[in-house]
Chains A and B, each alone.
Chain A
């Protein structure tokens, strides 16, 4: 064993020499910093290249794999109409399988090899949080992140990053206030995903219904048996269950409750309350569960929050507009709220791109994002300003009716992530005609 000991000594010595340069966790003396003023990568007179990362395969793909399909259809529509400021948008989607290691690899590929102008709608908290520092250092615009975590709104630390969807704390506040007022005195149970969705939501709910909450359970997306959690909520006597779940787990909650004979009032957050997707998942079980009525029966009465137009909602000019794009470019795909999520995202980015002007730089895109003038398909305004990079700021509360359509219980409210008031939205939404990008 003598040789291996000498090898270790040599190894140590050379490692010392080569890497003896301060602590690995210390901040280096000079950090790269955003590079502004240089010609923007990924931009030519006729093209702008953007990238994104989504789970297209693997256990996390269900529920997410169609977002980029919707987004791509919108970009195709815009490109067929001549592009934005004369530039066609090339949309590169990398599959990261919801694996953070893979996310870092593919985002570095997009930045270094594909030389994208911006990352648009990178999906997921565990995944996207791992490239946040990198994108900041490289000065790559990182806009409309597909996650409701609070960390995307940190203009000081991450000046290039902008949120998109309603964050979990704001949503918790709006749900909490609604429950306190309209479901007063009822015992509330929580079922939340075992990551920041759970903690952030609770921060919002607790401002209003801390004393009403009797039980809190988490689920792991990899484990599809939620019987233990639902049983615990039932045992605690919860009359209202707030479900901060992705669509498959909303559906599992519905079916598991049916299985164990539990009938709480469900309040579902926007990430898992897409009635079209839910109907597809549970429809078949209505008949089998012995219910007399078909389809929507299992969903009737479920409440939820949303900040985007719904494919099942009352006629909305934006839904019709996106339906038109859907029917033309991807008629074979189901038209769901999840798909609309991707379409709104793509449309919003294109609006920002247009506002950034003909002489496109990364800084101009960021300026357009933080100008506060972006108004689009969503039901509530964006928070965007110089000091605020949060996305949508509120939501309406709806209920699913027996025929699968959705009724609004409370018009859109808007609020902040702290203890600010929850108040009605007074902004007027523009119509597709008013902010049209094509023709």
Chain B
């Protein structure tokens, strides 16, 4: 029956279902777990945006942290300078700011391919946070901005922990953005993106405007990055250059590959992995109680090992592995996948 509804309705219903599940989950979780749930949320939308650009459109960006930087500073400045704006307006503007930056970056990047694009976006990730040094009065230099976001309705203050409320807001925004992304990916744009990725010449012969498509992919993907950065600022009350290092950009890409390219589900697994690998490796390092030189560096080493092992053993990422598993389970029945699966 679901097959008969237009995809946008299906996606909205699915998002609503997810939101209900998540709200229930947040009631079962303690305040700190709720913070982690929210953290997974903003990483998810950043990685999902990257999935559209890199997975669907084949443009490798090593600089998506730069768009998170823009989103975070947009929210930070709005909260501090225009305190009357409600948080949803701040987040919307952070998304717009990320999108505008992506439009510019996309226009500059449309002619670049492969490693040239990778190099240019890496330079973006390194270069952009340096803006804070140039405008220390506005952007507070290397100390960055610190603020408290007021979003919780007065009636809810004290009845539910603030991290639980934050998790709701983050996931509401993330799920809405995902609905937009899923629609784009399923619709004409998704097909165009893949066509350009697979063969630019063929795509352009078929009437696709290659340059415009690539720029559009950048725009959508960076808007997601801007939203992710805005949500991070909302959640943690900080925007500082030290948070938007090359390491952040690279870890987004790593999450995308870990989760599995070419599917928005992959972004979810990647975001969960990004948050929880770190938790586990920290716990392992703590439990082993080794000399400080070793225990300090152990989480980093384990994270690196996981990246290598996953790439070598599961080249299609977690989503690829799950799909293989699913196919094996379903093998007796002839496969007939519905649109809404």
Residues of A near B12 (CB, < 8 A) are: 7, 10
A200: min CB distance to chain B, Å: 11
Decide: B296 and A4 in contact? CB cutoff 8 A. no
Decide: A28 and B238 in contact? CB cutoff 8 A. no
Residues of B near A66 (CB, < 8 A) are: 292
Query: Given B236, B240, B300, which contacts A105 in the complex, CB threshold below 8 Å?
Result: B236
B68: min CB distance to chain A, Å: 10
A5: min CB distance to chain B, Å: 10
Q: Does A220 contact B (CB under 8 A)?
A: yes
Decide: B296 and A57 in contact? CB cutoff 8 A. yes
Q: How far is the CA of A69 from the CA of B187 in the complex (A)?
A: 57
Q: Which residue of B lies closest to A103 (CB)?
A: B238
Q: A15-B88, A112-B32 are in contact. Are A24 and B151 (CB under 8 A)?
A: yes
Q: Does B326 contact A (CB under 8 A)?
A: no
Q: Does B325 contact A (CB under 8 A)?
A: no
Decide: B84 and A30 in contact? CB cutoff 8 A. no
Residues of B near A3 (CB, < 8 A) are: 6-8, 183, 187
Q: Does B204 contact A (CB under 8 A)?
A: no
Q: Does A134 contact B (CB under 8 A)?
A: yes
Helix, strand, loop or mixed for chain B's interface? helix
Q: How far is the CA of A126 from the CA of B85 in the complex (A)?
A: 26
Q: A19-B88, A21-B153, A100-B242 are in contact. Are A130 and B183 (CB under 8 A)?
A: no
B160: min CB distance to chain A, Å: 13
A54: min CB distance to chain B, Å: 9
Q: A21-B153, A24-B83 are in contact. Are A100 and B238 (CB under 8 A)?
A: yes
Q: Which of A125-179 contact B (CB under 8 A)?
A: 125-127, 129-130, 132-134
For chain B, the count of residues having a C-beta within 8 Å of the partner chain is 71
Query: What per-residue 1/0 map shows which CB atoms of A71-103 lie under 8 Å from chain B?
Result: 010000000000000000000001100111110
Q: Does A429 contact B (CB under 8 A)?
A: no
For chain A, the count of residues having a C-beta within 8 Å of the partner chain is 61
Query: What per-residue 1/0 map shows which CB atoms of A229-271 lie under 8 Å from chain B?
Result: 0000000000000000000000000000000000000000000
Q: Which residue of B lies closest to A11 (CB)?
A: B176
Query: Given A8, A101, A125, A196, which contacts B232 in the complex, CB threshold below 8 Å?
Result: A101
Decide: B85 and A25 in contact? CB cutoff 8 A. yes
Decide: A69 and B292 in contact? CB cutoff 8 A. yes
Query: Given A4, A25, A105, A109, which contacts B150 in the complex, CB threshold below 8 Å?
Result: A25
Query: What per-residue 1/0 map shows which CB atoms of B132-151 lie under 8 Å from chain A?
Result: 01001000011110111111
Residues of A near B333 (CB, < 8 A) are: none
Q: Does B79 contact A (CB under 8 A)?
A: yes
Query: Given A7, A25, A68, A195, which contacts B180 in the complex, CB threshold below 8 Å?
Result: A7
Decide: A56 and B240 in contact? CB cutoff 8 A. no
Q: Which of A40-84 contact B (CB under 8 A)?
A: 56-58, 61, 65-66, 68-69, 72
Q: How far is the CA of A22 from the CA of B85 in the complex (A)?
A: 7
Query: What per-residue 1/0 map shows which CB atoms of B240-268 lie under 8 Å from chain A?
Result: 10110101000000000000000000000
Query: What per-residue 1/0 map shows which CB atoms of A179-195 lie under 8 Å from chain B?
Result: 00000000000000011
Decide: B243 and A30 in contact? CB cutoff 8 A. no
Decide: B238 and A112 in contact? CB cutoff 8 A. no
Q: Does A14 contact B (CB under 8 A)?
A: yes
Q: How far is the CA of A220 from the CA of B241 in the complex (A)?
A: 12
Decide: A134 and B237 in contact? CB cutoff 8 A. yes
Residues of A near B142 (CB, < 8 A) are: 126, 194-195, 220-221
Query: Given A16, A18, A133, which contacts B148 in the complex, CB threshold below 8 Å?
Result: A133
Q: How far is the CA of A7 from the CA of B7 in the complex (A)?
A: 11
Q: Does B154 contact A (CB under 8 A)?
A: yes
**What are 7 A-B contacts with C-beta separation under 8 Å?**
A12-B88, A14-B176, A23-B85, A24-B149, A24-B234, A26-B150, A195-B143
B-binding residues in A (CB < 8 A) = 3-4, 6-8, 10-12, 14-16, 18-30, 32, 56-58, 61, 65-66, 68-69, 72, 94-95, 98-102, 104-105, 108-109, 112-113, 125-127, 129-130, 132-134, 194-196, 220-221, 332
Q: Apart from A7-B179, A25-B80, list 8 A-B contacts with CB within 8 A.
A: A18-B172, A30-B157, A56-B296, A101-B232, A101-B236, A126-B240, A194-B133, A194-B142
Q: Which 4 A-B pairs have the closest CB atoms?
A: A25-B83, A112-B32, A101-B243, A15-B88
